[in-house]
């Protein structure tokens, strides 16, 4: 099972919003353990935990002040061990988030580094002198807005922060930093975790010459809300030295049986597929990588076809991990609503598409319920970029609201007290117990689709070949030497008439609004079907 990750399905848990058991309105590790059977019941292979490490929570745990401690908000190391044991009993792997491109400014490493320019950790973070006029050393900007440089009066230098000012970037050009972070990973591997999700994996290194980034090419939406999008980030991230450190991480992980690495690539659509390919090819770096390309507004056949094709053209031996929602983006049930005939119709079709693409898959908590983005008032926000850029950008809180478990309980059964983000009526209407009671609902379909996928090896590790189709029809064949399945989807809220050759609707397979006749196929709104396919299968508009 050393390659269990290939074609796997991972369920992402955002711990603050999963289940509160200690009555503080914030989800915790015992709450996750309590609800693990729900996750296992979906038929997934692994669970990914967003950060639970010690943190001042300026960025909700993505600002770590102790890489080997559990924040008291979430519990204890003993609680984590209990979760790990229970997950393994249920057949679930456990992947933990590693946020190592930066730390919290409360981390002891940074506190020592800022003390002076000669201490043992003076070079563990990215420090630079001011320009003669006092301005920052270059034009690099923060993902969260403003300059990526912050002046420190003690050292009388600027330090680099690609995110919040309280998230200083570690200096990966310093060998001791690399060694220390590898020791952190070894700590969790020895504890029994099954792998790591590496946050902002292409941000580790910076250009040592501190060259300024060139401007980005203006588009139709120019100027953007955030100045970060006004630069082409050639020198502040995705540097060639990254490859060498990824190889060091992989060598460490390979000392342990059956462990895996999945990296988050944050870059433009023009570059991200290439970076994913470079970081996963060759068998000596990441096992998998994902980007934000499928986490945006585009829901078209050409979009999905081009991304998959570009990835495998770049890295035939690499491996992607696809997802449609996560803790950083608007939930896809809301994001793609204009493509829906009915809410559940879109939710089911999106899953059928996701689980049929070549690659591994990550599901985000609550999408099995068909949860939509929560509409929040400004006063309810906690997310720093949402507060800064409101109302043009409302931040990430809307996808992070608590899971509603029971419709008839306060706050949906998530907590007995007011939670850190509200549970509102549209989300409460899709509570776990409510959706569970519907045999034709999204939760039942997620389980059905997972069972079907596991019964078809070609859907897990098989090759993929796209058929020539016109919008809004997406069609492809997944195949192994012994098996072949065609998937045909109508990515629109309108009915489509098609002529088909060499395709026969597969009995006992998931299907939605699909009818076949002699050489014909009618796909209703958001319709899809699975087909036994001949080698010369073809589809044409009727």
pLDDT above 90 (res 40):
yes
Question: Residue 1 — very low, low, confident or very high, per pLDDT cuts 50/70/90?
Answer: low
Percent of the chain with pLDDT over 70: 100
Give the tens place of pLDDT for each residue, 214-253: 999 998 889 999 999 999 999 999 999 999 999 999 999 9
The pTM is what? 0.97
Q: How many Å apart are CA 312 and CA 450, to the nearest integer? A: 24
Tell me the two tokens of residue 426: 């549209």
Give the tens place of pLDDT for each residue, 174-206: 999 999 999 999 999 999 999 999 999 999 999
Q: At what angle do helices 242-253 and 175-191 cross, to 10 degrees?
A: 30
Question: Residue 502 — very low, low, confident or very high, per pLDDT cuts 50/70/90?
Answer: very high
* Residues with catalytic roles: 199, 255
The whole-number pLDDT of residue 302 equals 98
Tell me the two tokens of residue 300: 């078209």
DSSP strands (E only) in 402-517: 463-466, 473-479, 484-490, 496-505, 512-517
Give the tens place of pLDDT for each residue, 108-151: 999 999 999 999 999 999 999 999 999 999 999 999 999 999 99
Do the bridges between strand 46-49 and strand 9-13 make them parallel or antiparallel, or are there none, so unpaired? parallel
The pair phi, psi for residue 60, each rounded to 5°, is 50, 45
The whole-number pLDDT of residue 522 equals 98
Helix (H, G, I), strand (E, B) or coil at 387: helix
Give the tens place of pLDDT for each residue, 61-109: 999 999 999 999 999 999 999 999 999 999 999 999 999 999 999 999 9
Give the tens place of pLDDT for each residue, 297-340: 999 999 999 999 999 999 999 999 999 999 999 999 999 999 99
Tell me the two tokens of residue 159: 């330090």
User: Residue 23 in contact with residue 415, Cβ under 8 Å?
Assistant: yes
Tell me the two tokens of residue 359: 């690659």
């Amino acid at each position: 099972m050393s390659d269990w990750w290939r074609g796997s399905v991972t369920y992402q848990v955002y711990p603050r919003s999963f289940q509160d058991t200690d009555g503080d309105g914030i989800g915790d590790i015992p709450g996750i353990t309590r609800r693990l059977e729900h996750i296992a019941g979906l038929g997934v292979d692994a669970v990914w935990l967003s950060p639970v490490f010690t943190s001042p929570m300026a960025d909700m745990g993505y600002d770590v002040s102790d890489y080997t401690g559990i924040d008291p908000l979430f519990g204890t190391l003993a609680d984590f061990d209990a979760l790990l044991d229970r997950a393994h009993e249920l057949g679930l792997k456990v992947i933990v988030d590693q946020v190592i491109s930066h730390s919290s400014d409360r981390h002891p490493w940074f506190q020592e580094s800022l003390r002076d320019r000669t201490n043992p950790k003076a070079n563990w973070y990215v420090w630079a002198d001011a320009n003669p006029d006092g301005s920052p050393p270059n034009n690099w900007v923060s993902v969260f807005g403003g300059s990526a440089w912050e002046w420190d009066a003690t050292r009388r230098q600027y330090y680099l922060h690609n995110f919040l000012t309280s998230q200083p970037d570690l200096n990966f050009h310093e060998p001791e930093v690399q060694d220390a972070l590898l020791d952190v990973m070894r700590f969790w591997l020895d504890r029994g975790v099954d792998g790591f999700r590496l946050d902002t994996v292409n941000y580790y290194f910076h250009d040592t010459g501190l060259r300024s980034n060139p401007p980005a090419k203006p588009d139709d939406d120019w100027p953007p809300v955030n100045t970060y999008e006004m630069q082409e980030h050639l020198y502040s991230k995705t540097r060639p030295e990254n490859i060498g450190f990824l190889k060091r991480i992989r060598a460490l992980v390979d000392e342990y049986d059956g462990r895996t690495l999945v990296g988050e690539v944050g870059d433009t659509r023009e570059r991200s597929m290439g970076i994913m390919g470079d970081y996963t090819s060759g068998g000596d770096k990441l096992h998998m990588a994902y980007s934000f390309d499928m986490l945006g507004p585009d829901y078209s056949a050409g979009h999905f076809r081009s991304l998959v094709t570009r990835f495998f053209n770049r890295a035939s031996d690499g491996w992607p991990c696809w997802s449609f929602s996560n803790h950083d983006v608007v939930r896809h049930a809301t994001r793609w609503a204009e493509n829906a005939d009915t809410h559940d119709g879109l939710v089911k079709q999106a899953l059928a598409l996701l689980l049929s693409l070549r690659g591994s898959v990550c599901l985000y908590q609550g999408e099995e319920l068909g949860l939509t983005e929560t509409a929040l008032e400004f006063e309810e926000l906690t997310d720093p970029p949402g507060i800064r850029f409101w109302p043009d950008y409302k931040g990430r809180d809307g996808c992070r609201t608590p899971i509603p478990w029971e419709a008839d309980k306060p706050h949906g059964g998530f907590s007995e007290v007011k939670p850190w983000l509200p549970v509102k009526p549209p989300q409460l209407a899709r509570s776990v117990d409510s959706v569970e009671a519907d045999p034709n609902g999204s939760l039942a379909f997620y389980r059905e689709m997972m069972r079907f996928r596991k019964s078809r090896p070609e859907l897990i590790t098989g090759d993929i070949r796209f058929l020539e189709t016109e919008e809004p029809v997406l069609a492809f064949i997944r195949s192994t030497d012994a098996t072949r399945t065609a998937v045909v989807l109508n990515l629109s809220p309108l009915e489509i008439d098609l002529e088909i050759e060499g395709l026969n609707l597969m009995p006992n397979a998931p299907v939605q609004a699909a009818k076949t006749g002699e050489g014909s196929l009618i796909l209703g709104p958001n319709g899809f079907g699975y087909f036994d396919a001949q080698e010369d299968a073809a589809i044409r508009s009727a």
